[in-house]
Structures are given as C-alpha cells and as structure tokens.
Amino acid sequence: MNRLLEILICLCMLVIAVPLCAVTYLIVVKALGRPVMFRQTRAGKGGVPFDVIKFRTLTDDRDEHGIWLPDEERLTPAGKFLRRTRFDELPQLFIILAGRMALVGPRPLMGETIDGFGADGIKRGSVRPGLTGWSQVSGNTALNDDEKLKLDLWYVAHRTTALDFRILAETIGVALFGEHRREDRIAAAEHWGTTINAQAQA
C-alpha cells in the first residue's frame, strides 16, 4: 500500500480509535488494574527491533514459584473481548504513523522467533509488520505457527493495494463475527510454498 494512502487511512481511523482507546483504558483499569499498557520489543522490517505497545489483556497471576501462569489461565473475559475486537491493538496506529509498522503485513514477532524461521524469517521480515494481516483473517488463533508462516510468506509474495484493502475489510468481519480457519487459503499457501521450493532446488 502506498505510504501516503496508508497515513491518510490511519489518520481517519484515529478519529474513531481515540474515543475507543479511552473506553478500552477504562475497561483495562476496571478488569485488570495497572499497568494499563503492555510493551515488548519485536522485530521490524529487516529485523530492526522496535517496541510494540498495546493495551494489557492478561492478569499478573503467578504460581507458587513466582512464574506467570499460562496465557489461557490469565486471559479474562474482558481480555478476550479486547483481543477479539482488536481494541487492544489500537495504540499501534501511532506506531504506523511513525513508519515502524504498516496497516497490513505479517504481525510483529519477537526477534528470536524470527531467527528460528531461518531464511523464511528473512523473507517474512522484508516488509513492515502489520496491524493486521493475511494470517489474522485466515484463522489466526485457530492456526499453528507453521500455517501462519506459510500464509505470511504467501502474502509477502502476492501483496497488492487491493489485497491490503481486502484484508482490512475482512479484519472488521473477524472483529464482529469471530475467527474461522480458511482451509482454502492454507492449502493455497502450502501449495505455493512447495512450488517455490521445488523451483529453487531445480
């Protein structure tokens, strides 16, 4: 997507996002307390690290040894709501304006996770990470890591402005109606990846 177009869309989204951020802030304070925000270093384009900021969705519950409980045990109904609606991600619009993220692209992951992908991680990181992406509208939490990677690589190779707008539109549908595995897209991404690998080895 053209950078100027992305900025214009982002600014328009902020008109709605700012009041939603205020509501989300109150929800987090009421349900989870403080701190309200979650910050973590992730890998950006070319592996350059940057800080991702989002509203906190997990409690701080730990076991008797002081170790955090699994995420599924710390995710409250309020946290589930914020994740499903993507309200927890709204602060990332400011990161997009700063140019470290895109509206659409593979979701930002931790550097060690990207390194574990090897050459595929380099390909995946050739574009800015996105607020939403092909994996997020094709199943997201219903996908395993290998399926997400294949979908992300397919997106990087096929991305267009039209596809980006399609993903943005489908993101609204996911927020309203929930996530659903898209077996057709998973199969297409796998077939494409197998074909590319075969051509590279020929």
Q: Which of 37-41, 55-59, 63-67, 85-89 has the lowest mean pLDDT?
A: 63-67
In the block, tokens 């409980």 appear at: 69
Q: Which of 165, 182, 131, 158 is nearest to 17 (CA)?
A: 131
Neighbours of 111 (CB within 10 A): 16
**Three-state secondary structure call for residue 131:** strand
The string over 28-41, giving b where at least 16 C-beta atoms fall within 10 Å of a residue's C-beta and e elsewhere, is beebbeeeeeeeee
Q: What is the mean pLDDT of residues 178-194?
A: 95
Per-residue pLDDT, 202:
72
pLDDT tens digit sequence for 126-159: 999 999 999 999 999 999 999 999 999 999 999 9
- Amino acid present at 23: V
Per-residue pLDDT, 109:
97
Q: What is the pTM of this model?
A: 0.90
Q: Which of 116, 122, 101, 5 is nearest to 53 (CA)?
A: 101
Task: Give the Cα-Cα-Cα angle 111, 113, 115 (nearest 5 degrees).
Answer: 70
Per-residue pLDDT, 95:
97
| Cis status, amide bond into 129, omega within 30 of 0 | no
pLDDT tens digit sequence for 64-110: 887 888 888 899 899 999 998 899 999 999 999 999 999 999 999 99
Please check the confidence at residue 21 and state whether its pLDDT lies above 90: yes
Neighbours of 70 (CB within 10 A): 9
